[in-house]
């Protein structure tokens, strides 16, 4: 039943009013303070309401708030320069957007325009946005049948999850490679849209075997298909590198960015591609985003990127993520409610017993609610996984306290 003026997502059972937020804390309308382990889903990587970012936005708002799509503000030019300098050299041209869905939609159009092909490959049970085209690439036909038909020429592949056995992981990767090559060999695929080695959206936190990104890069290059890395969730230090593509050194033809780009201070997204692809394609498509890259958002994004590079935030993310996984394994290994924990950097998935129900409610949902009662803000997939994404600036004291609450909540059922 809809009880509010706002239509929430399918996390409605966990809705709360956030009246204040700072650093690694949020406060609800009753004044209760919660340690945050979500970062608004990889958005507030530098902590909620980062004061440095707020200050530059206020300063920019005093100068200019709006620029039309056929013009540019100096702050936009400055940010585009720093962003492209922070990426591999060949990724040198930016398309402005307001968020991840728009950026990924633009990337698909760019791939089709450049290659002259129509097929697009995505991965089932991943999350790359909510446009009709993106849903066709990632959501099951059953879940979207009431809004069908979606985009044609969409191919869904299964994401090759890593196994506990290194040998089995490489066998899975090899099987995946053969399937992918069979599809690409037809030379009708414009692009492959995928996150670089881990699924950060949709709640699964699936990880691919080592070599996944390099494999896709080799095969797409061989068959003239563009590789599109969705770095909306993996970018901005979340996975222990400034960008996820650095984990294996695989350079895509197109990269999309959003979420942590401005640390939640404003809506902003981007597509970054090569000079060659941009020059061949831009006249075939009308890339226009009315609110893409408004000056205050660019000021926030510029300061966000400056902080990541200045403080080398990715190093702390890697260290804290390894620590988080190690403590959870130590505290929960052997407990009947625990199945697995895995992740890259501070993108960690905690798998719980999917068969255990408390009444008709999943163990995951019960743990999320119990943890909130004790002072920890979590998000899960309603089935078997809790996705742990604390702000990358979180102190070890707050990280330890959050882990303590989480472990006790899991063991309480």
Q: What is the mean pLDDT of residues 339-358?
A: 95
Q: Distance (Å, rounded) from C-alpha 292 to C-alpha 401?
A: 39
Q: Distance (Å, rounded) from C-alpha 43 to C-alpha 318?
A: 17
CATH code, residues 52-311: 3.40.640.10
To the question of domain 12-50+312-411 being in CATH 3.90.1150.10, the answer is yes
Residue 12 has pLDDT above 60, yes or no: no
Matching CATH topology for 12-50+312-411 and 52-311? Answer: no
Residue 188 has pLDDT above 60, yes or no: yes
CB 165 within 8 A of CB 172: no
In tens, the pLDDT along 80-120 reads: 999 999 999 999 999 999 999 999 999 999 999 999 999 99
Domain ranges of the chain: 12-50+312-411, 52-311
Q: Distance (Å, rounded) from C-alpha 33 to C-alpha 36?
A: 9
Residue 2 has pLDDT above 80, yes or no: no
Q: Which residues, at least 6 apart from 231, have a Cβ–Cβ distance to it below 8 Å?
A: 195, 196, 243, 244, 245, 255, 256, 257
In tens, the pLDDT along 34-75 reads: 999 999 999 999 999 999 999 999 999 999 999 999 999 999
- What's the whole-model pTM score? 0.95
């Amino acid at each position: 039943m809809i009880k509010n003026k706002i239509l929430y997502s399918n996390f409605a059972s966990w809705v709360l009013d956030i009246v204040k937020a700072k650093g690694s804390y949020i406060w609800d309308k009753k004044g209760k303070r919660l340690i945050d382990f979500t970062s608004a889903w990889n958005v507030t990587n530098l902590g909620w309401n980062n004061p440095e970012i707020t200050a530059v936005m206020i300063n920019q708002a005093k100068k200019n708030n709006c620029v039309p799509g056929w013009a540019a503000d100096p702050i936009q030019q400055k940010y585009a320069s720093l962003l492209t300098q922070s990426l591999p050299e060949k990724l040198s041209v930016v398309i402005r957007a307001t968020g991840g869905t728009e950026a990924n939609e633009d990337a698909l159009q760019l791939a089709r325009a450049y290659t002259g092909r129509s097929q697009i490959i995505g991965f089932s049970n991943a999350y790359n946005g909510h446009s009709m085209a993106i849903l066709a690439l990632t959501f099951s036909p059953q879940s979207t049948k009431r809004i069908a038909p979606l985009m044609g020429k969409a191919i869904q592949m299964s994401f090759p999850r890593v196994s506990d056995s290194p040998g089995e992981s490489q066998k899975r990767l090899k099987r995946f490679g053969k399937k992918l090559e069979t599809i690409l060999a037809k030379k009708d695929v414009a692009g492959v849209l995928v996150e670089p080695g881990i699924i950060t959206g949709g709640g699964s936190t699936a990880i691919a075997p080592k070599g996944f990104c390099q494999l896709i890069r080799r095969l797409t290059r061989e068959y003239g298909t563009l590789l599109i890395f969705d770095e909306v969730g993996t970018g901005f230090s979340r996975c222990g590198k400034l960008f996820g593509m650095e984990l294996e050194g695989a350079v895509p033809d197109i990269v999309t960015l959003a979420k942590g780009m401005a640390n939640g201070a404003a809506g902003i997204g981007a597509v970054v591609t090569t000079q060659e692809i941009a020059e061949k394609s831009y006249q075939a498509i009308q890339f226009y985003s009315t609110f893409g890259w408004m000056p205050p958002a660019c000021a926030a994004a510029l300061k966000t990127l400056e902080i990541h590079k200045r403080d080398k935030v990715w190093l702390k993310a890697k260290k804290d993520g390894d620590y988080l996984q190690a403590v959870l394994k130590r505290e929960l290994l052997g407990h009947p409610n625990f199945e697995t924990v895995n992740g890259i950097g501070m993108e960690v998935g905690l798998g719980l017993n999917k068969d255990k129900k408390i009444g008709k409610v999943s163990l995951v949902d019960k743990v999320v609610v119990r943890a909130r009662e004790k002072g920890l803000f979590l998000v899960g997939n309603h089935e078997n996984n809790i996705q742990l994404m604390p702000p990358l600036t979180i102190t070890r004291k707050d990280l330890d306290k959050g882990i303590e609450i989480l472990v006790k909540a899991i063991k309480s059922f």
